[in-house]
């Protein structure tokens, strides 16, 4: 069983701090989950995920892991935890998002999605049932329903039709999930996903339908796909008002530090995003004083630590000038240091949010922090 215990509720916002319990340990919310696409958080050793970044749960991507190494190897390994040596909680997405964003020549029918691999062009067919089977093979503690993630902008009629399909697919996911047990003897849980694009009535209808499935937690998809931040917040707020208060809420693929803080205030408990690692590889660093483009000439002779008062031991150790040099020379170590830095910052940020929710001053702290984290240094 997945449990969720809410320990604190903020007084000035809808933020809450809680603890989720899974078969591989507990997660203190609100939480950010580093993305481990192919079974590895890019450039980060598992030991550093635990000791430097202090990650509590990581993601695996079903689409990527299905293509490489494939479910046969994952099953023989005894699941992803055994394969990559990460023995804390893992969440897997359903592959739906990547099927739409990465693969070629996809074709959606009521039955499922036919797509071509972005690697070798080979043809594959995902159904809700197959997405569940693959996730059972990967062995994540939390697995996601197979949905259609609509693009932005999306016409109302398409969004409505797609939402209906997502709901019917959810029913198939649940039925299949509930009759097929875990392969590895530990408990897995299935999160359903609210869709509905940026239309209030669709979002409300979808949230009501998703809630009616009465799963152990609920997720919100189809945001952070190009819409203005204000629309993302509005939709998140509307959906959070419908989804049950006593279950974890996961906002998929969000976002910047400011996005995360604003959505914690709306009642979101879980986040994931590739931004901290992808931007790290391009030299964009998040700090509590603002955003640093470490490639800029202004850091060339700045021998002070990357983030002197920050939470990351790695960025207290190395200087800005050294990291800039590594980035300019495209040295592997540059991406490694920057990834450790950004992920440490994200985990620190949600940890601070949790502390301020407990202290009862989250809303005012959040407003001040949102301004700071958006500053360009």
* 74 vs 83: CA distance, rounded Å: 7
Give CA separation, 78 vs 85, 124, 336, in Å: 11, 24, 28
Tell me: does residue 69 bind a copy of itself (CB under 8 A): yes
Q: Is 303 exposed, middle or buried (0-12, 13-18, 19+ CB in 10 A)?
A: exposed
Strand 123-126 relative to strand 113-116, pairing:
antiparallel
Q: Does residue number 116 form part of the binding site for a copy of itself (CB under 8 A)? A: no
Q: Which region, judged by CB under 8 A, interacts with a copy of itself, from 34-42, 108-116, 136-144, 347-355?
A: 34-42
Is residue 344 a contact residue for a copy of itself (CB under 8 A)? no
The residue within the footprint of a copy of itself, chosen from 21, 28, 40, 116 (CB under 8 A), is 40
Q: Between residues 73 and 359, which has the closer beta carbon with respect to a copy of itself?
A: 73
359: which strand partners?
none
Query: In the numeric block, which tokens belong to residue 346?
Result: 């994200």
Closest approach, Cβ 342 to a copy of itself, in A, equals 14
Residues pairing with 96 in the sheet? none
Residue positions counted in the chain: 377
Contacts of residue 308, Cβ cutoff 8 Å, sequence gap at least 6: 316
Count of residues that bind a copy of itself according to CB under 8 A: 38
Kindly state whether residue 245 participates in binding a copy of itself, applying the rule CB under 8 A.
no
Helix/strand/coil for 85: coil
Q: Is 336 in the site for a copy of itself (CB under 8 A)?
A: yes
Calpha distance 192→250 (Å, rounded): 10
Q: Which of 123, 200, 298, 328 binds a copy of itself (CB under 8 A)?
A: 328
Evaluate whether 224 touches 149 at the Cβ level (below 8 Å). no
List 48, 93, 269, 307, catalytic entry: 93
For residue 355, the surrounding DSSP H or E stretch is: helix 332-359
Among 63, 250, 286, 322, contact with a copy of itself (rule: CB under 8 A): 322
Active site residue 147: no
Identify the residue among 23, 53, 219, 326 touching a copy of itself (CB under 8 A). 326
Q: Using the rule CB under 8 A, give the single segment among 170-178, 187-195, 242-250, 317-325 that binds a copy of itself.
A: 317-325
Let me know if 133 is a catalytic residue. Answer: no
Lookup: tokens for 182 = 């875990």
Q: Give the contact letters, 179-208, x = binds to a copy of itself (CB under 8 A), - = no.
A: ------------------------------
Per CB under 8 A, does 83 bind a copy of itself?
yes
DSSP 130: H
Residues that bind a copy of itself (CB under 8 A): 38-40, 42-47, 68-69, 73, 76-78, 82-85, 300-301, 303, 314, 317-319, 321-322, 325-326, 328-329, 331-333, 335-337
Q: Enumerate the active-site residues.
A: 93, 272
């Amino acid at each position: 069983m997945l449990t969720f215990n809410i320990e604190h509720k903020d007084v000035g916002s809808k933020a809450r701090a809680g603890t989720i319990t899974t078969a591989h340990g507990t997660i203190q919310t609100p939480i950010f989950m580093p993305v481990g696409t192919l079974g590895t958080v890019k450039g980060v050793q598992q030991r550093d995920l635990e000791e430097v970044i202090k990650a509590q749960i990581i993601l695996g991507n079903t689409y990527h892991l299905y293509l490489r190494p494939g479910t046969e190897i994952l099953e023989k390994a005894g699941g992803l935890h055994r394969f990559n040596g990460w023995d804390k909680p893992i969440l897997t997405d359903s592959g739906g998002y990547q099927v739409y964003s990465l693969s070629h020549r996809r074709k959606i029918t009521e039955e499922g999605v036919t797509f071509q691999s972005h690697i070798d062009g080979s043809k594959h067919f995902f159904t809700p049932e197959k997405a569940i089977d693959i996730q059972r093979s990967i062995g994540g503690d939390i697995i996601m329903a197979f949905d259609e993630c609509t693009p932005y902008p999306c016409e109302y009629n398409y969004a409505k039709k797609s939402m209906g399909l997502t709901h019917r697919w959810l029913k198939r996911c649940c039925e299949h999930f509930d009759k097929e047990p875990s392969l590895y003897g530990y408990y897995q849980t299935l999160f359903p996903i609210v869709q509905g694009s940026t239309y209030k009535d669709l979002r409300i209808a979808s949230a009501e339908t998703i809630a009616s499935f009465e799963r152990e937690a609920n997720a919100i998809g189809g945001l952070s796909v190009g819409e203005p931040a204000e629309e993302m917040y509005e939709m998140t707020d509307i959906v959070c008002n419908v989804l049950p208060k006593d279950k974890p809420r996961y906002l998929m693929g969000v976002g910047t530090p400011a996005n995360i803080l604003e959505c914690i205030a709306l009642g979101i408990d879980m986040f994931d995003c590739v931004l901290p690692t992808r931007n790290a590889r391009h030299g964009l660093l998040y700090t509590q004083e603002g955003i640093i483009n470490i490639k800029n000439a202004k850091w060339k002779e700045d021998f002070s630590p990357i983030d002197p008062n920050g939470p990351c031991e790695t960025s207290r150790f190395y200087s800005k000038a050294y990291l800039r040099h590594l980035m300019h020379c495209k040295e592997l170590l540059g991406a490694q240091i920057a990834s450790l830095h950004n992920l440490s910052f994200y985990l620190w940020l949600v940890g601070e949010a949790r502390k301020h929710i407990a202290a009862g001053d989250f809303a005012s702290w959040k407003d001040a922090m949102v301004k700071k984290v958006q500053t360009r240094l």
